Amino acid sequence: MGRRAKPLIGILCCNEDAGRPVQTVASRFVRPLADLADANVLLVPALPEAVDADALAAILDGLLLTGSRSHVAPSHYGGPALADDARSDPGRDAVALTLADRMIEAGKPVFGICRGLQEINVLFGGSLAPTARHHAGSWDGDYAALFGHGHDVDLATAGRLADATGATRLRVNSVHQQGIDRLGGGLSVEATGADDGLVEAVSASPCGGAVLGVQWHPEWDVARSPASRAFFTLLGATVRGAPFHHGEA
């Protein structure tokens, strides 16, 4: 079998109820993988019984852990119980944490957005805490208002995001209700909130596969923001074997 013309990137779905159980992922996560990462995209169901993580890690070239309405269950990081109105998705937790672990072990990139960043932190032994002040609006209301809520983040001077975007500060959106509390072992801070110091992006390399996660949603404004496009372009370059950090062979 010959080499694929394009890399294959898996993207995590979520369990939702649309009058019946369904697997969902917003198209805005998928399109940049095709348009900017120049990849073929495989939707990965958040159903542990339908996913052989070892087999998938063998065929995927990269993995994107998407944002979600749901929260990572506190049982995975020893945290307090979620609020009564908070959504959980045990199937997503199981598939995301297991598949990401297998991908990294196989030396393949794992990138994360919002919940995806939180999953990466938990996978590396970190914890999460509520950050309600960073969330404004309702999932049942105006999406433009929900995703338009923003703030500034400062990028680590020698970080991969600073290198990819050519910036030291970015204006990003803020849709999350949880954030990093204890940073996972082996992770480096790529960005912090300019007003509160909250960890807003992390990376890890070398640790097997390259790892990058951002708390904001670059897929939302990818058509207007060069920095958002850089996230997906970087994923495309990384799955093709480009050096992830300066000084790497």
The reply to whether 217 belongs to the active site is yes
- Whether 149 is catalytic is no
- The string over 32-67, giving b where at least 16 C-beta atoms fall within 10 Å of a residue's C-beta and e elsewhere, is bbeebbbbebeebbbebeebebeebbeebbbbbbbb
Q: How many helices (H) and strands (E) does the chain have?
A: 7, 13
**Residue 124 and residue 209: Cα distance in Å, rounded?**
13
Q: Which of 134, 151, 176, 217 is an active site residue?
A: 217
Among the listed residues 13, 14, 71, 114, the single catalytic one is 114
What three-state secondary structure class fits 151?
Answer: strand
- The rounded distance, in Å, linking the Cα atoms of 223 and 125 is 34
| Active-site pick, 119, 190, 200, 219 | 219
**Residues acting as catalytic residues:** 114, 217, 219
